[in-house]
């Protein structure tokens, strides 16, 4: 009887440890770039990504930018959230849409690579300036001190952000009720060279 209870206890302990290990989010190698040229230059110096991956990731980030960038009802509100000179009309920034809706300019992009560079792209995210001089992604889930460098990030950082195209733009009151763009992020990351 004693032997059975010891076996059951060990089985439960093993199952618990396995379940807890399964809860930890997969980490991916990530790198931020201010532009596609920086990614291609890093590629030629043995960086994480090939030129083809740079092209694919930049195209994905641009698509997400058009679909999911924050939209504001005035350039003043946009600049309060992203900094002076960091905004344009939806028509200028996205290449279509309304001239009375304003969006932040793309200030870089973040690329994630699965399995330490051997498993392909985890995805890409557009990066925007925030009012404090840092950078944030379209979903406002993370804030970064720079738009260049490498880090290990959770795979969830590359989830598709919610679409904003066709939705009502944020007013000053809406932006303030959300704590401002980029200030409600759940984590802060820093990129190092």
pLDDT digits (tens, 9 = 90+) for 176-185: 876 555 444 4
Nearest to 33 by CA among 142, 114, 106: 106
Sequence-ordered list of residues with C-beta below 8 angstroms from that of 16, at least 6 positions apart, any chain: none
Confidence at 8, pLDDT banded by 50, 70, 90: very low
Question: Residue 22 falls within a domain, yes or no?
Answer: no
Question: Residue 1 falls within a domain, yes or no?
Answer: no
Outline where the chain has alpha helix (H). 2-23, 36-44, 51-68, 75-82, 90-94, 172-177
Domain count, the chain: 1
Q: From edge to edge, which strands make up the β-sheet containing 135-137? A: 149-154, 27-33, 108-113, 121-129, 135-137, 142-144, 187-189
pTM: predicted TM-score of the whole model, two decimal places: 0.77
Nearest to 128 by CA among 69, 170, 180: 69
The pLDDT of residue 187 is above 60: no
pLDDT digits (tens, 9 = 90+) for 93-102: 877 777 789 9
Question: Can you give the residue range of the structural domain that contains 148?
Answer: 27-189
pLDDT digits (tens, 9 = 90+) for 119-147: 567 789 999 999 888 999 888 778 899 99
Over range 144-152, report the average pLDDT.
91
pLDDT at 143: 87
Matching residue, tokens 């000179």: 85
CA 157 distance to own-chain centroid:
5
């Amino acid at each position: 009887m004693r032997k059975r209870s010891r076996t059951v206890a060990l089985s439960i302990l093993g199952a618990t440890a396995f379940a807890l290990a399964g809860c930890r989010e997969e980490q991916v190698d990530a790198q931020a770039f201010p532009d596609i040229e920086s990614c291609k230059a890093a590629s030629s110096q043995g960086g994480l990504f090939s030129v083809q991956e740079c092209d694919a990731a930049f195209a994905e980030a641009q698509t997400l930018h058009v679909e999911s960038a924050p939209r504001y009802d005035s350039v003043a509100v946009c600049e309060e959230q992203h900094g002076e000179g960091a905004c344009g009309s939806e028509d200028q920034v996205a290449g279509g849409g309304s001239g009375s809706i304003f969006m932040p300019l793309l200030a870089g992009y973040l690329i994630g690579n699965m399995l330490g560079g051997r498993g392909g792209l985890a995805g890409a995210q557009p990066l925007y300036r925030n009012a404090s001089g840092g950078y944030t992604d379209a979903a406002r889930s993370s804030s970064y001190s720079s738009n260049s460098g490498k880090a290990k990030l959770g795979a969830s950082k590359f989830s598709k952000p919610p679409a904003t195209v066709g939705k009502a733009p944020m007013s000053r009151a809406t932006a303030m009720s959300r704590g401002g763009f980029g200030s409600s992020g759940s984590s802060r990351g820093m990129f190092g060279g």
